[in-house]
């Protein structure tokens, strides 16, 4: 008869000698000895477990740990591969093979282990992606990672997030961004901040598919669902505003606070213009005020601040405001739609059907 183990007795090597079928206790004792960094006991217990349960991967994971600590890489590689035969989800084995392939810069093996670790969900995806990006940063060779991202891997978005935080974008990164629409706005914001309007607009053209981008000064003037990202398409900043499937920007106003609703960067040459807006709804001034604001982007100088209010009953209304674009310090402009609180706040529903900025041409005497 074997000696029965209980909490008061604890688990020890001696007690396990007399209980050959206590696999669960044996595994717990191995893990406990590893936690105490008692390698001698963990190796001894692992040998017993290997005899008791030849298909258990834990003895190989222990041998892997010991080999790594001893600097025996050949043995460590062998035990890692053997562990994965028995348990493809082994975290220690995957991490070891990722480390070795990263050190030796073997992209195929790096990406294989990275993908398996992502699938395991045992480690934070952001940390794994950060480590992966670090491998190619240290190697000063981004080309394998660029090619990998062009294949649309499942975790590509996480890798792109890490690369967006790099000091410099690698060669070919602009082409990669075409495949990640949800990351394009963040990419263009950084290009705009670091390299300016022209570089951001050029990159916007290169990652967008539209062939009609510059037919109007205000892009997407009727608020359609489009794939082109901000800042040269509309960005919506108000959680109760949305572009509708048939076009138009629907806004539900509370009239309680001031709110930025929509924003776009445009580039109107020097001259005289008219800002035209078509609205549908009812918006008495006492409840809320819609307002277009136009700034010179470089100087942040205000060019226009217009109010749009009309009767309480739903109706279609047109608004026209003159705008002058100066010839200096105003290579691009920022167009924003704001809502201001009214004196008697109440809920209002408005639809902006269209907005355009059209040059006014003055004909001289004949």
CA atoms within 13 A on the CB side of 365: 0
The whole-angstrom separation of Cα 66 and Cα 96 is: 12
| Phi, psi angles (nearest 5°) of residue 234 | -70, 135
**Which pLDDT band, with edges at 50, 70 and 90, does 6 fall under?**
very low
- Per-residue model confidence as pLDDT tens digits over 260-270: 999 999 999 99
Would the pLDDT of 212 be above 80? no
Would the pLDDT of 201 be above 90? yes
The whole-angstrom separation of Cα 257 and Cα 149 is: 43
The answer for residues whose C-beta is within 8 angstroms of residue 274's C-beta and 6 or more apart is 320, 321, 322, 323, 357, 358, 360
Q: Specify the domain boundaries for CATH 2.60.120.260 within the chain.
A: 235-359
- Write the burial class of residue 125 (CB in 10 Å: 0-12 exposed, 13-18 middle, 19+ buried): middle
Strands 310-325 and 271-283: antiparallel
The whole-angstrom separation of Cα 198 and Cα 95 is: 44
The whole-angstrom separation of Cα 183 and Cα 230 is: 11
Q: Specify the domain boundaries for CATH 1.25.40.10 within the chain.
A: 13-207
Mean pLDDT value across residues 243-254: 92
253, 304 Cβ separation under 8 angstroms: no
- Per-residue model confidence as pLDDT tens digits over 309-326: 776 667 789 999 999 999
CATH number for 235-359 (one of 3.40.80.10, 2.40.50.140, 2.60.120.260, 3.40.1180.10): it is 2.60.120.260
Mean pLDDT value across residues 244-256: 89
CATH number for 13-207 (one of 1.25.40.10, 2.30.42.10, 1.10.3720.10, 3.40.30.10): it is 1.25.40.10
307, 289 Cβ separation under 8 angstroms: yes
């Amino acid at each position: 008869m074997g000696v029965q183990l209980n909490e008061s007795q604890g688990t020890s090597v001696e007690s396990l000698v007399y209980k050959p079928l206590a696999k669960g206790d044996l595994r717990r004792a191995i893990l406990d000895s590893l936690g105490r960094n008692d390698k001698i006991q963990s190796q001894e217990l692992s040998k017993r477990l290997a005899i008791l349960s030849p298909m258990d991967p834990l003895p190989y994971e222990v041998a892997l740990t010991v080999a790594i600590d001893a600097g025996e890489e050949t043995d460590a590689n062998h035990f890692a591969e053997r562990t994965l035969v028995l348990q493809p989800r082994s975290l220690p084995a995957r991490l070891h093979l990722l480390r070795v392939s990263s050190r030796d810069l073997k992209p195929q093996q790096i990406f294989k282990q990275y993908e398996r670790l992502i699938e395991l969900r045992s480690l934070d995806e952001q940390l794994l992606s950060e480590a992966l990006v670090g491998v190619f940063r240290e190697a000063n060779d981004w080309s394998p990672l660029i090619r990998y991202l062009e294949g649309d891997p499942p975790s590509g978005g996480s890798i792109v997030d890490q690369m967006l935080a790099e000091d410099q974008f690698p060669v070919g990164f602009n082409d990669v961004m075409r495949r990640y629409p949800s990351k394009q706005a963040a990419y263009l914001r950084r290009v705009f901040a670091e390299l300016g309007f022209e570089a951001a607009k050029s990159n916007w053209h290169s990652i967008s598919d539209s062939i009609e981008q510059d037919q109007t000064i205000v892009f997407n003037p009727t608020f359609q669902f489009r794939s082109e990202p901000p800042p040269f398409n509309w960005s919506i900043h108000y959680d109760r505003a949305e572009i509708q499937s048939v076009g138009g920007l629907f806004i539900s106003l509370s009239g309680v606070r001031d709110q930025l609703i929509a924003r776009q960067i445009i580039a109107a040459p020097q001259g005289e213009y008219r800002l035209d807006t078509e609205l549908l709804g009812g918006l008495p001034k006492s409840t809320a005020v819609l307002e277009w604001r136009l700034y010179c982007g470089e100087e942040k100088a205000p060019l226009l601040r217009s109010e749009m209010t009309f009767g309480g009953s739903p109706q279609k209304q047109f608004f026209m405001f003159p705008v002058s674009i100066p010839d200096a310090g105003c290579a691009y402009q920022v167009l924003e739609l704001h809502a201001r609180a009214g004196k008697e706040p109440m809920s209002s529903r408005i639809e902006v059907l269209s907005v355009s900025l059209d040059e006014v041409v003055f004909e001289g005497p004949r």
